Structure 1
Amino acid sequence: MTRYRMAPLLAAASLLLGLLSAGPAPAAAAPHRVDIDPAVAEKLDDAITAAMREASIPGVGIGLWIDGDDSYVRAFGTADKATGIPIKTDMYTRIGSVTKTFAVTGVLQLVDDGKVRLDAPVSTYLDGVPGGAHITVRQLAEMRSGLYNYTEDPRWMAALKADPYHAWTPRELLDIAFRHPADFPPGTRWEYSNTNTVLLGLLVEKISGQPLHTYLEQHVFEPAGLDATSLPTGAAIPSPYIHGYTNLTPDGAAVDASSFNPSWGWAAGAVISTMDDLHAWVPILVSGKLPDGDRLLEPGTQAERLRMLPTGQHEVGYGLGISEIDGWIGHTGELPGYETVAFRLPQARATLVIVVNTDTDGKFGNLSSLIASTVTKIATPDNAWSPPQEAHPEVVPEPSAPSAPTPAPKTTPSG
């Protein structure tokens, strides 16, 4: 959620996007076959469990699905340290900054309806945004507004650690952000900021006349067949759920964060989903097409979404609420206790979903990126994720974004 790190890209902790030239995502690349034969599966089993041991990860759920072919779906470790129950693909989990893919989809649907213009100033739709007459809707969605990321505010971070059950309103979050000057003039560079997506959530509410959770339920989750996905209005998570573990506490003690209130992430990181739903969602997100053949977004709007711009991070690009890492397109997510990877490799017809139930990254950097790097080096060596350094931009970005060689310790939540 992010910044708990951009997690994005993907919320989370660090961001790994490469210096990509502007242009559409490489969906038209030559077909590339991925074979998950028994030998590859065994290598994956061994490499993942070794990485988990070294990084002290309680549990990992992973699905690498190849359209119409063999897939690799595994659960290692546990979904609940108290009971030892393993992670299953239908268990609920908090997905952090992957939420941004849904919120921005709502904005783009309003663009298709002719109710919002991507290149209109945000002040056209929302009052009270500092410099809003010079910040476009597009710049909010592509993380180029320059607005300060509220999850970087030290007082906010102290408040979150002191009371992780507090219910935050979008206005409270924006008030924190707007106390700070802009980090740079709009459009001049890329910087992951959860403030951008909170504003876009309010834009959806203002233009649609519906609460964001209702709009997403009716216009995104339902059409996409995502029966287990929701934007909660409280702290509860449905059962059965994956327990998430964090040390984001005043004394650094590890605790179960499952019942922490995710309201501080809202449109930027509060969605609850399952591995199965994310498996269904990622191909829709990347193609713009629903399972029944209808379109989630018009072709021109989908092309705008996939126009990846440089982030200044190695091998990472960012579009409109979506990122590209080493050819994989999707988003990462992170918030206390949870890290998520949800990506598609179009030329291989492959979808990758990873759930890690801890955000205690330490010396290994972003843990979900560590697992993604481990998996892709074996299964898709031509499109292997770079090793995590900090965290992906959510892949994000965590505070800053995704990861790199020698990770820096996490100091803020992502998204």
Structure 2
Amino acid sequence: MKTTHIRLCRACAAVAAVGVLMVSTLAGPAYGATVAAPSTPASTVPSPDTDTGFVQLTPTVAAQLDAAVLQVMRKTQVPGVTVGLWAPGKGSYARTFGVADKATGAPMATGLHVRIGSETKTFTVTALLQLVDQGKAALDDPIDRWVTGVPNGDRITLRQLAGMRSGLFNYSLDEDFDKKFQADPEQSFTPQQLLDYAFKHPVLFPPGAQFDYSNTNLILLGLVVEKVTGRPLHEVITQDVLGPAGLRRTLFPTGSDMPDPYAHGYTNQTASGKIEDATDWNPSWAWAAGAMISDMQDLRSWARTLATGGLLTSATQAERLKTTPMDIPGAGYGLGIFDVQGWIGHNGSIPGYEVLPVYLPQAQATMVIVLNTDVRYEGQEPSTLFGQAVTSIVSPDHVYPGHEPLVPSTG
């Protein structure tokens, strides 16, 4: 069974994430926890509440979570991970494991900045939907009303771009883009350069015909936001999204610098295939699709705001949450957001980092997982493995991304 996972990466974006694991070649102290607990038999863990589907976060459950996270770390050799869970009336769990810097051995911590990859898409689409609420743009506007030169631009709508149903080729799959990036990961790309890589390829299917995850879509939506507002995208998101949402430790960078304090990020998306420190790689190649930075607490707050529509009208939020089926059972993609087994949100992956901030409405529960690597484990993204391990314990009827093992895609 082919599966699709939401991943922004240098060379791929719509690929499988869950399957069999493989040992990476990560050097140095790959794991170690700031907490340590013995494994707890599953039979001693309370059953989830019948109304919310979520367990009480007791010390017993915390011990089992510790053991599960450490088990995934041992298999994947992830340097550092932070896991946070919060649910009204059920308690909370926030743990850090491993190291934030392999060179110094500095421990992972909850307040460290990380790059959030495709979680950026949720901010870009929110900025667009705010303009829809203001009557300045419409979801069914064709893209060529705002951006010219797009293949099928008279038929592809903003709704289809946000819902990953445009049929446009994903620029990050282009071989020439890949070679240019490999030559210098710290170089800067412009949005038009990214579109040029995409538009030299034929469209994949007629607009709206199917779901296909493409970073190209978000570059176009970022340009729409700029055209409608007359302001740079990073200013719009900072002033109109981050400010009203109360996110003070989240930013849309215009360069490669990471704000202190931060976790170093490690990737094998390198010319040699060896693992390198990607902390200072320039995220301009991802722009509206994946350039932003945040930390665990801001991601916690944003996951709830995103899922409940705190910055949008109820009608627009309802449009956002209308999903198109994905290849993962029990999963659908809306407008810059997914619903996977009841967990609503978006994950993010960019060289060096992965995040998984999601919200389970019926329990008002939030889960945030932050990693300082994107090194895969036999085709699987480690954030998905942690998400699956954690939700198997705390929400067994809503396991992310699903109960059955998934087979990695080759594409």
Q: Which residue of 2 aligns with 1:368?
A: 383
**1:160-179 superposed matches below 5 A:** 160-179=181-200
Q: Which residue of 2 aligns with 1:197?
A: 218
Cα distance between partner residues in 1 of 2:231 and 2:95: 39
**Residue deviations 1:31-62, cap 9 Å, x none?**
44431111111011011101101111111111
Q: Which residue of 1 aligns with 2:227?
A: 206
Paired letter, 1:338: Y
Q: Which residue of 2 aligns with 1:245?
A: 266
1:128 aligns with 2:152: no
- Contact 1:162–1:249 (8 Å) recurs in 2: no
Using the aligned pairs only, state the percent identity: 49
Greater C-alpha radius of gyration: 2
- Contact 2:325–2:332 (8 Å) recurs in 1: yes
Q: Which residue of 2 aligns with 1:110?
A: 131
Cα distance between partner residues in 2 of 1:151 and 1:65: 35
Cα distance between partner residues in 2 of 1:82 and 1:76: 16
The size of the alignment, in residue pairs, is 375
Q: Which residue of 2 aligns with 1:325?
A: 340
**Residue deviations 1:376-401, cap 9 Å, x none?**
00111110124699xxxxxxxxxxxx
**1:264-343 superposed matches below 5 A:** 264-289=285-310, 296-343=311-358
**Residue deviations 1:103-151, cap 9 Å, x none?**
0000000000101010111111111111100000000000000000001
Unaligned runs of 5+ residues in structure 2 are 19-49
Cα distance between partner residues in 1 of 2:236 and 2:151: 27
Provide TM-score, normalisation by structure 1. Answer: 0.86
Cα distance between partner residues in 2 of 1:12 and 1:224: 28
**Residue deviations 1:66-104, cap 9 Å, x none?**
135411100010111112222222211000000000000
Q: Does 217-226 or 121-130 show the bigger shift?
A: 121-130
Q: Which residue of 2 aligns with 1:141?
A: 162
Helix, strand or coil at the partner of 1:71: strand
Q: Does 31-40 or 45-54 show the bigger shift?
A: 31-40
- Contact 2:234–2:253 (8 Å) recurs in 1: yes
Cα distance between partner residues in 1 of 2:147 and 2:259: 33
Paired letter, 1:357: N
Among 43, 55, 58, the alignment partner of 2:79 is 58
Paired letter, 1:262: P
- Contact 2:116–2:348 (8 Å) recurs in 1: yes
Paired letter, 1:325: V
Q: Which residue of 1 aligns with 2:100?
A: 79
Identify the structure with bigger relative contact order (alpha carbons < 8 Å, sequence gap 6+).
1
Q: Which residue of 1 aligns with 2:36?
A: none
Q: Which residue of 2 aligns with 1:22?
A: none
Paired letter, 2:102: K
- Contact 1:99–1:269 (8 Å) recurs in 2: yes
Among 47, 70, 73, the alignment partner of 2:68 is 47
Unaligned runs of 5+ residues in structure 1 are 18-28, 290-295, 390-403
Paired letter, 1:358: T
Q: Displacement of 1:405 after TM fit?
A: 2.9
**Residue deviations 1:186-243, cap 9 Å, x none?**
0000000000001000000000011000001110000101001111000001011011
- Contact 1:235–1:260 (8 Å) recurs in 2: yes
- Contact 1:364–1:407 (8 Å) recurs in 2: yes
Q: Displacement of 1:6 after TM fit?
A: 2.6
**Which contiguous aligned blocks of 4+ residues in structure 1 show a shift greater than 4 angstroms?**
none
Cα distance between partner residues in 2 of 1:153 and 1:364: 20
Distance 1:378 1:32, change over 3 A: closer
1:150 aligns with 2:171: yes
Provide TM-score, normalisation by structure 2. Answer: 0.87
Paired letter, 1:259: D
- Contact 1:12–1:96 (8 Å) recurs in 2: no
Q: Does 121-130 or 131-140 show the bigger shift?
A: 121-130
Q: Which residue of 2 aligns with 1:379?
A: 394
- Contact 1:144–1:191 (8 Å) recurs in 2: yes
- Contact 1:337–1:358 (8 Å) recurs in 2: yes
Q: Displacement of 1:364 after TM fit?
A: 5.7
1:407 aligns with 2:401: no
Q: Displacement of 1:313 after TM fit?
A: 2.9
Distance 1:14 1:34, change over 3 A: farther
Q: CA-atom RMSD, angstroms?
A: 2.2
Distance 1:70 1:30, change over 3 A: closer
Helix, strand or coil at the partner of 2:367: strand
